[in-house]
């Protein structure tokens, strides 16, 4: 289409060439919606409410804590407010400020304003006075409805507006009788004005009419069927237009509105209790609010089931993958989940998409199709429809469009533009330019892709960084400022301000933050401030936002000096704040909110404090904002540390916790750090998977015998009878129960062919690995058997945290017992194991208390630089790939033998040789000789039966090596010596090491070596034939090199596990080839030098040195530049050669003008080798300067005369 258009009209501008065939264009316009006017009727919002009050006057309209109002009572109270407002001159399109917190009075006030004919203007009492003053002055509001205790929040005087307290009207509303009065308002009058952030530093008020809101519910009625049985929550601030949907969704359909107290809205656990208690049926949430609620619901104990029938998302982009845990627990039928996209200027919602469980496996943010009375176009910059799959800007038209921006005709004209596709419609038809990017999938569904500008959304609020920057520019002592939104590892976005102070000005966070808090709402005040000498700029002199540095972990400059924690409670709280806020050092007098804390981070602090045994409420956090104040408020001590001796049952549990343990528990102890990490990732990582290990067994399958073997293993291994209690005690505990049942699920695949069996098993494993465990239910393991033949079956173990040795031990013990039972033997029960996982937890805690451990690792990491593999952004990612993929590296038996001989001759374990190879590849990929990699180390107790207990005993340590000089043998020896030196400190947890290195591990690669010789027990004792197996693992490193020695064949195997969203398969395959070449070099020449090893094969070397440098090109050597130009003039004399504003020169014109200049200069003596200076501004004249036969020199007009 594009080429055809160019051929048909060569002189047409490129931007105007068509990308679509006429029929494709018509199809895209058709799927954009027809925006047929809906049956909005002639009633205003308050009149629709009055109709419900007549139908069911005694029905409950709203509840708040222990208060309740019926429809009749709410109507009567709103009527009284309306009469007061009418007496103060309020009528159609009058603006009335509403400055009230969440309460029944808020709803009464809003209804009263509408009944009087006015439009309500939300004034959040938490907003700074300066912002409230601006809104009141911009709206010219005559009246502000508030309450007595909030009068102090309003500017003095209230910008010319009279304040009326709804809780102290002195009976003014009763001076007239109750006869109805005519307000003279119609559906096209304004209902409310909500202010959104403005890029110029000036907020903009969006004017929305009664008709806009009424038609929203009329057109969506068939989708949701709202009714009198529905219970809604008013969760959001009335300054956020999601509240419009919540409020009128209940009151226009006879439902009940539950007003959520502010502190309850900030506590997922408290909000969950409210949803259960109030039997809420319709829940509206931003994704950032719903995800913590989802986690709270997962971890909550038994209680009343939720009554939800609808969950509607809006306000910000939703990634359906984050909802996978919800779908796993609740399915997708009840409640039904919907994702709705919209903006304030288009009346809350524009599109709708029903979410299904399979959406959790797809990337992107699907927003569905437009509401029936709206049109939604995805347009390119020329206002033409973007083809399917092509990104464009969302433009919305139809009955939902607001009037525009109050007192901003210029901005209204810029954003609300004429509809170029309005054929047959009114000439007044408009489109709203949203600034949002999307693409249309096949079939017409839309996928949201973010913003076309710098605007961001934080917790559902639209924020223009430019408005914050404008406020910072007014702050005394600030010369320049920039504000960006940065994503954290949790997915949450936070605002970061970069400030360049005036020379000599104090760099004090308190001053700058305090200045902004007087002028901006809380959600617009950056959580982090960084002081810079200058702001980075691009070559063109513009701010380079990409070059702004990431926030530091150092304590910012505060007004208060640093005071270190003094008590265990203060130390624990400081550690928690440090973790949540991402700061290394926090003093006990530092203000949580000044350090970047906010309500969301308060929730995280509360959760982590609970895990540490500190009962902390949000009210306490807000009332006592320093560690000193909080610790004094709490007035409690931490449990004493356990002694450094081998503990017995219950020794690691505090006496207070022990008395509250269930009666069927035979032991209890805290979680290890790695177990805590697994729990964290299962709750917060959308790509979390469990471990699945499977082995094919050549033996008959008798279910009762295998189940009997399972029971014996469960009796012997306490970890198989363990559950986690994450919130019921002073810290998360694992509870060892006396009994647990581990059933075997059997699936029959014997009727399938071997290829079909393999395909079925592969598909089943991919599903199984995504089925999470309920940490509170024992056992934390699943067993499956797939029948493959008469004497052949696949045994699969699914579990959340066992290390490889534990899986091998479990399989060996289980199959050894099963084999004995198959032979008719009754194995003698073995005595209880003399070690338990409790011993490992005690050793880990001992390492955490050890100053020697801390000093050793501090010396290792203090001056280390993080080693990261470069990402190839141009490399294609694998579509539909698993989160963790694998590339096998072939190693021949001959090479395996040679590597083992190298180890023997060097006097080191084979592991040291393989680790040396891994380090060399990391060095090659990073271009550095001082490298760090993650070394996966075993920390099992060195006690009797320590090798036989099950659990997770691994720890990933930063292994640092300088690759300088020597032979491959020398390198293997140095690797061995370095690993030997760190062995005494190997149990110091990785999470604590990350804290020492700024919150991130020093490498994105890891090395793991396994040698599961435990399987030899089956060979010695006549166990069943093992015909191969496989396992699926999780890794949180970009690349993990998995080396394994097969104990039966002495064969070395290598697999590279990689995270598919970080590395492309093509890149990992390149690394695999390098591993193979390094190992071959070591095996073939142990005395060779690693520093002389080339990572390139001979063909690759030739390509780099020869082929890529073969740049010879045949071109005319006998013609000058101006001769080549004249040849182009002959080919295209009429083509445009130069454009300067409105001036245009063709090639013919340019040739003629430059020839005139040339003749003039030749007359002045110019010729071959003569230099001619050119001193001209950028213009058409500059291009006419080339002189045949002469050289020219540029002289910039802005340079000094001397130069």
The three-state DSSP-derived secondary structure of 69-109 is EEHHHHHHHHHHHHHHHHHCCCCCCCEEEECCCCCHHHHHH
Question: Which residues are bridge partners to 320 per DSSP?
Answer: none
Specify the pLDDT at position 667. Answer: 95
The secondary element (H helix, E strand) that includes residue 1193 is: strand 1191-1194
User: Who has greater pLDDT, 152 or 802?
Assistant: 802
pLDDT digits (tens, 9 = 90+) for 286-319: 887 888 888 888 776 555 678 899 999 998 888 8
- Residue 1032 above 70 pLDDT? no
Asked if 869 and 1005 count as a contact pair (C-beta separation under 8 A), the reply is yes
Choose between 1000 and 636: higher pLDDT: 1000
Confidence tier at 641 by pLDDT (50, 70, 90): very low
Count of CB atoms situated within 10 Å of the CB of 678: 21
What pLDDT was estimated at residue 917?
Answer: 96
pLDDT for position 301: 57
Instruction: List the beta bridge partners of residue 1031.
Output: 693
- CA–CA distance, 958 with 1000 (Å, rounded to integer): 11
Q: What is the DSSP letter of 924?
A: H
Please state, in angstroms and rounded to a whole number, the distance separating the CA atoms of residues 809 and 1029: 15
In the predicted structure, residue 490 carries a pLDDT above the cut 70: no
CA distances from 244 to 239, 349, 460 (A): 9, 10, 14
Stretch 159-184: mean pLDDT, rounded? Answer: 65
Q: Reduced to 3 states, what is the DSSP secondary structure of residue 504?
A: coil
For the ranges 45-59, 553-567, 1095-1109, the one whose mean pLDDT is highest: 45-59
- Residue ranges, comma separated, of all CATH 1.10.1200.10 domains in the chain are 568-634
Q: Quick one: CATH architecture of 71-185? A: 3-Layer(aba) Sandwich (3.40)
230 near 258, Cβ under 8 Å?
Answer: no
The answer to whether the beta carbons of residues 631 and 570 sit under 8 Å apart is yes
Q: What percent of the chain has pLDDT over 90?
A: 30
Average pLDDT over residues 1119-1138: 90
Smallest CA-to-CA distance from 499 within 472, 468, 536, 525 is with: 472
* Contact indicator for 160, 230 with CB cutoff of 8 Å: no
pLDDT at 492: 63
CA distance 235 to 292: 14
606: pLDDT strictly greater than 80: no
**In terms of pLDDT, which residue wins out, 733 or 835?**
733
- Helix 804-822 vs helix 703-716: crossing angle, to nearest 10: 130
pTM tops 0.85: no
Reduced to 3 states (helix: H, G, I; strand: E, B; else coil), residue 651 is coil
Rounded CA-CA distance 340/360 in Å is 16
Structure confidence at residue 45 (pLDDT): 92
Rounded to whole angstroms, the Cα distance separating 134 from 127 reads 11
Burial (CB count <10 Å: 0-12, 13-18, 19+), residue 529: buried
**How confident is residue 637, by pLDDT bands cut at 50, 70 and 90?**
very low
Q: Is 315 left (phi over 0), alpha (psi -120 to 50) or beta?
A: left
Q: Does the pLDDT value for residue 320 go beyond 90?
A: no
Residue pair 548/482 in contact by the 8 Å Cβ criterion:
yes
Q: Does domain 851-1093 have CATH number 3.30.559.30?
A: yes
List, by residue range, all CATH 3.40.50.980 domains of the chain.
71-185, 1121-1194
Task: Tell me: pLDDT of 573 over 70.
Answer: yes
Report how far residue 551's alpha carbon sits from residue 530's, in angstroms, rounded to the nearest whole number.
7
Please give the structure tokens belonging to residue 297: 């619901």
The answer to whether residue 639 scores a pLDDT higher than 60 is no
Rg (CA), the chain: 36
Q: Give the helix ranges, DSSP H, for 193-252.
A: 210-224, 242-251
Q: In what order do the strands lie in the sheet with 528-531?
A: 478-487, 493-501, 528-531
How far is 62 from 64, CA to CA, in rounded Å? Answer: 7
pLDDT value of position 476: 82
Question: Which backbone phi and psi does 957 adopt, to 5 degrees?
Answer: -110, 145
Mean pLDDT value of segment 906-915: 85
Give the rounded distance of the alpha carbon of 1036 from its chain centre: 16
Mean pLDDT calculated for residue range 606-626: 73
The pLDDT of residue 452 is above 60: yes
pLDDT for the residue numbered 159:
55
Predicted confidence band of residue 1015 (pLDDT cuts 50, 70, 90): very low
Interval 960-969 mean pLDDT: 88
Alpha carbon of 787 to those of 743, 747, 790: distances in Å? 16, 6, 8
What local confidence, expressed as pLDDT, does residue 200 receive? 64
Q: Write phi, then psi, for 962 (nearest 5 degrees).
A: -100, 115
**Picking from 206-215, 347-356, 884-893, 1104-1113, which range would have the lowest pLDDT averaged per residue?**
1104-1113
Stretch 216-221: mean pLDDT: 90
Res 423: pLDDT: 65
The answer to whether the CB of 118 falls within 8 A of the CB of 85 is yes
Start-to-end Cα distance in the chain? 55
Contact status, residue 605 vs residue 630, Cβ threshold 8 Å:
no
Beta-bridge partners for 668? 735
Indicate if the pLDDT at residue 890 is higher than 80: yes
Fold of 1121-1194: Rossmann fold (3.40.50)
Looking only at the bridges linking them, the beta strands covering 60-64 and 67-70 are antiparallel
3-state DSSP assignment of residue 308: coil
Strands (E), 717-820: 722-725, 733-737, 744-748, 782-789, 792-799
Return d(Cα 981, Cα 996) in angstroms, integer.
19
Other Cβ atoms less than 10 A from the Cβ of 1065: the count is 18
In this prediction, residues 1163-1181 reach a mean pLDDT of 82
Residues of the chain with CATH 3.30.300.30: 464-547
Question: What's the fold here for domain 662-838?
Answer: Chloramphenicol Acetyltransferase (3.30.559)
- The predicted pLDDT at position 875 comes to 58
- Given a cut of 90, whether residue 1044 has pLDDT beyond it is no
Two tokens, residue 946: 């320590």
Report the Cα 639 to chain-centroid distance in Å: 35
- The tokens for 212 are 């806009």
CA angle 317, 318, 323 (to 5 degrees): 165
Q: Could you tell me if residue 298 is left (phi over 0), alpha (psi between -120 and 50 degrees) or otherwise beta?
A: alpha
The CATH superfamily assigned to 568-634 is ACP-like (1.10.1200.10)
Residue 125: exposed, middle, or buried by beta-carbon count in 10 A (0-12, 13-18, 19+)? middle
Does residue 365 carry a pLDDT above 70?
Answer: yes
**CA distances from residue 514 to 472, 475, 557, 670, 998 in whole angstroms, order as listed:** 11, 10, 14, 42, 28
Residue 554 to residues 558, 584, 586, 625, 806, Cα–Cα distance (Å): 12, 6, 9, 20, 41
Give the 3-state secondary structure of residue 1119.
coil
Rounded mean pLDDT, 54-82: 91
Q: What is the CATH number of domain 464-547?
A: 3.30.300.30
SS3 332: coil
CA distances from 227 to 236, 352, 354, 1023 (A): 21, 19, 20, 66
- Give the closest residue to 861 by CA, choosing from 853, 851, 849: 853
| Residue partners of 539: CB distance under 8 A and separation at least 6 | none
Beta bridge partners of 366: 447
Mean pLDDT (whole number) for 550-554: 65
**Would you state the pLDDT for residue 709?**
94
Q: Is the pLDDT of residue 35 over 60?
A: no
Among the listed ranges 82-86, 361-365, 923-927, 1168-1172, which one has the minimum average pLDDT value?
361-365
Residue 859: per-residue pLDDT: 83
CA gap 657, 729 in Å, rounded: 6
pLDDT mean over 648-674: 93
With cut-offs at 50, 70 and 90, classify the pLDDT of residue 1068: very high
Residue 638 tokens, joined: 């931490």
Contact 436, 378 (CB under 8 A): no
Mean pLDDT value of segment 560-576: 79
pLDDT tens profile 791-847: 889 999 999 988 888 888 898 889 889 988 988 888 888 888 888 999 999 999 988
What are the structure tokens assigned to 664, written together? Answer: 């069927």
Give a three-class secondary structure readout of 434-490: EEEEEEECCCCCEEEEEECCCCEEECCEEECHHHHHHHHHCCCCEEEEEEEEEECCC
Question: Do the Cβ atoms of 362 and 417 come closer than 8 Å?
Answer: no
Q: What is the b/e burial string over 502-520, where b = at least 16 CB atoms within 10 angstroms of the residue's CB?
A: eeebeebbebbbebbbebb
pLDDT of residue 1194: 47
Stretch(es) of the chain classified as CATH 3.30.559.30? 851-1093
pLDDT band at residue 532 under the 50/70/90 scheme: confident
Q: What is the mean pLDDT of the chain?
A: 82
């Amino acid at each position: 289409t594009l080429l055809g258009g160019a051929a048909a009209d060569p002189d047409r501008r490129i931007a105007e060439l068509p990308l679509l065939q006429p029929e494709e264009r018509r199809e895209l316009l058709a799927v954009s919606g027809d925006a047929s006017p809906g049956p909005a009727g002639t009633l205003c919002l308050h009149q629709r409410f009055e109709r419900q009050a007549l139908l069911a006057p005694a029905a409950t309209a709203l509840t708040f804590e222990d208060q309740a109002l019926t429809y009749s009572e709410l109507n009567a109270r709103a009527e009284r407010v309306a009469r007061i407002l009418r007496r103060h001159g309020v009528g159609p399109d009058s603006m009335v400020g509403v400055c009230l917190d969440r309460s029944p009075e808020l709803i009464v006030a809003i209804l009263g304003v509408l009944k009087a004919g006015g439009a309500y203007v939300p004034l959040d009492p938490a907003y700074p006075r300066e912002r409230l003053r601006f809104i009141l002055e911009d709206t010219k509001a005559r009246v502000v409805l508030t309450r007595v205790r909030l009068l102090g929040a309003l500017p003095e005087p209230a910008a010319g507006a009279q304040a009326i307290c709804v809780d102290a009207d002195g009976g003014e509303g009763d001076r007239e009788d109750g006869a109805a009065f005519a307000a003279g308002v119609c559906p096209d009058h304004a209902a409310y004005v909500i202010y959104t952030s403005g890029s110029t530093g000036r907020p903009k008020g969006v004017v929305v009419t009664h008709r806009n809101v009424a038609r929203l519910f009329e057109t969506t009625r068939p989708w949701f069927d709202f009714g009198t049985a529905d219970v809604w929550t008013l969760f959001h601030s009335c300054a956020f237009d999601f509240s419009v949907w919540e409020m009128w969704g209940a009151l226009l359909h006879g439902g009940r509105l539950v007003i959520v107290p502010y502190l309850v809205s900030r506590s997922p656990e408290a909000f969950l209790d409210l949803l259960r208690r109030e039997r809420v049926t319709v829940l509206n949430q931003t994704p950032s609010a719903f995800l913590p609620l989802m986690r709270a619901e997962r971890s909550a104990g038994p209680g009343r089931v939720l009554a939800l029938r609808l969950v509607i998302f809006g306000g910000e982009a939703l990634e359906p993958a984050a909802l996978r845990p919800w779908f796993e627990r609740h399915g997708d039928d009840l409640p039904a989940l919907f994702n709705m996209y919209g903006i304030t200027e288009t009346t809350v919602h524009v599109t709708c998409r029903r979410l299904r469980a399979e959406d959790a496996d797809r990337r992107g943010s699907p927003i569905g199709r437009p509401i029936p009375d709206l049109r939604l176009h995805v347009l390119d910059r020329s206002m033409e429809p973007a083809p399917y799959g092509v990104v464009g800007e969302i433009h919305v038209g139809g009955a939902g469009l607001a009037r525009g921006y109050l007192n901003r005709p210029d901005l209204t004209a810029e954003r609300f533009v004429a509809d170029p596709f309005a054929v047959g419609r009114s000439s007044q038809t408009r489109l709203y330019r949203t600034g949002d990017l999307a693409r249309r999938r096949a079939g017409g569904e839309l996928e949201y892709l973010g913003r076309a500008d710098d605007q961001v959304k934080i917790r559902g609020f639209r924020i223009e960084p430019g408005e914050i920057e404008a406020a910072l520019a007014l702050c005394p002592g600030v010369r320049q400022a920039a504000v960006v939104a940065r994503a954290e590892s949790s997915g949450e976005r936070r605002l970061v301000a970069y400030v360049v102070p005036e020379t000599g000005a104090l760099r004090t966070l308190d001053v700058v933050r305090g200045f902004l808090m007087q002028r901006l709402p809380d959600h617009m005040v950056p959580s982090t401030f960084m002081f810079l000498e200058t702001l980075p700029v691009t070559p063109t002199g513009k701010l380079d936002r990409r070059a702004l540095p990431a926030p530091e972990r150092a304590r910012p400059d505060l007004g208060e000096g640093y005071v270190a924690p003094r008590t265990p409670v203060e130390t624990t709280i400081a550690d928690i704040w440090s973790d949540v806020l991402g700061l290394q050092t926090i003093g006990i007098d530092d203000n949580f909110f000044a350090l970047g804390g906010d309500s969301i981070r308060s929730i995280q602090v509360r959760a982590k404090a609970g895990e540490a045994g500190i009962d902390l409420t949000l009210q306490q956090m807000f009332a006592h904002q320093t560690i000193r104040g909080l610790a004094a408020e709490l007035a409690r001590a931490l449990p004493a540390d356990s002694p450094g001796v081998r503990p017995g049952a219950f020794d690691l549990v505090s006496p207070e916790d022990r008395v509250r343990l269930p009666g069927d528990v035979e032991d209890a102890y805290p979680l290890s750090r790695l177990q805590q990490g697994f729990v964290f990732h299962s709750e917060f990582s959308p790509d979390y998977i469990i471990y699945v290990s499977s082995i094919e067994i050549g033996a008959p399958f008798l279910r009762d015998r295998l189940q009997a073997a399972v029971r014996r293993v469960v009796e012997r291994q306490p970890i198989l009878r363990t559950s986690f209690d994450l919130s019921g005690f002073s810290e998360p505990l694992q509870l060892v129960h006396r009994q647990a049942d581990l059933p075997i699920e059997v699936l029959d695949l014997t009727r399938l062919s071997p290829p079909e069996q393999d395909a079925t098993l592969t598909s089943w494993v991919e599903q199984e690995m995504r089925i999470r465990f309920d940490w509170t239910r024992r056992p934390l393991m699943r067993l499956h058997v797939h029948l493959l033949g008469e004497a052949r079956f696949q045994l699969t173990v699914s579990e959340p945290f066992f290390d490889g040795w534990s899986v091998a031990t479990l399989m060996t013990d289980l199959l050894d017992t099963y084999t004995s039972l198959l032979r008719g033997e009754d194995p003698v029960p073995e005595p209880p194991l003399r070690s338990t996982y409790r011993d490992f937890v005690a050793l880990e805690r001992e390492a955490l208390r050890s100053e020697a451990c801390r000093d050793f690792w501090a010396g290792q990491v203090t001056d280390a630089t993080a080693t990261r593999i470069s990402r190839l952004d141009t490399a294609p990612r694998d579509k539909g790939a698993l989160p963790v993929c694998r590339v096998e590296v072939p190693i021949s038996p001959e090479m395996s033998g040679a590597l083992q001989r190298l180890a023997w001759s060097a006097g080191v374990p084979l592991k040291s040789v393989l680790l040396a190879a891994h380090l060399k590849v990391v060095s090659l990929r990073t271009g550095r000789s001082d490298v760090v990699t993650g070394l996966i180390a075993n920390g099992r107790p060195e006690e009797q039966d320590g090798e036989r207990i099950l659990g997770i005993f691994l720890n990933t340590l930063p292994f640092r090596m300088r690759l300088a000089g020597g032979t491959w043998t020398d390198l293997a020896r140095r690797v061995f010596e370095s690993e030997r030196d760190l062995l005494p400190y190997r149990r110091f947890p990785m999470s604590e090491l990350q804290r020492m290195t700024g919150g991130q591990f020093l490498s994105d690669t890891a090395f793991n070596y396994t040698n599961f010789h435990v399987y030899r027990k089956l060979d010695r004792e006549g166990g069943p034939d093992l015909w191969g197996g496989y396992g699926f693992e999780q890794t949180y490193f970009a690349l993990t090199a998995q080396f394994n020695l097969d104990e039966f064949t002495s064969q070395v195997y290598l697999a590279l596990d990689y995270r598919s969203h970080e590395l492309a398969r093509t890149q990992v395959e390149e690394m695999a080839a390098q591993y193979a070449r390094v190992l071959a070099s070591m095996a073939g020449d142990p005395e060779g030098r690693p520093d002389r090893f080339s990572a390139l094969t001979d063909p690759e070397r030739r390509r780099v040195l020869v082929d890529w440098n073969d740049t010879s090109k045949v071109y005319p050597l006998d013609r000058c530049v101006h001769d080549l130009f004249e040849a182009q003039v002959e080919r295209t004399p009429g083509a445009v050669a130069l454009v300067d504003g409105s001036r245009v020169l063709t090639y013919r014109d340019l040739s003629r003008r430059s020839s005139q200049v040339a003749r003039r200069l030749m007359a002045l003596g110019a010729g071959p080798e003569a230099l001619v200076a050119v001193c001209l501004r950028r213009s058409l004249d500059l291009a006419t300067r080339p002189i045949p036969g002469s050289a020219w020199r540029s002289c910039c007009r802005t340079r000094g005369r001397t130069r």
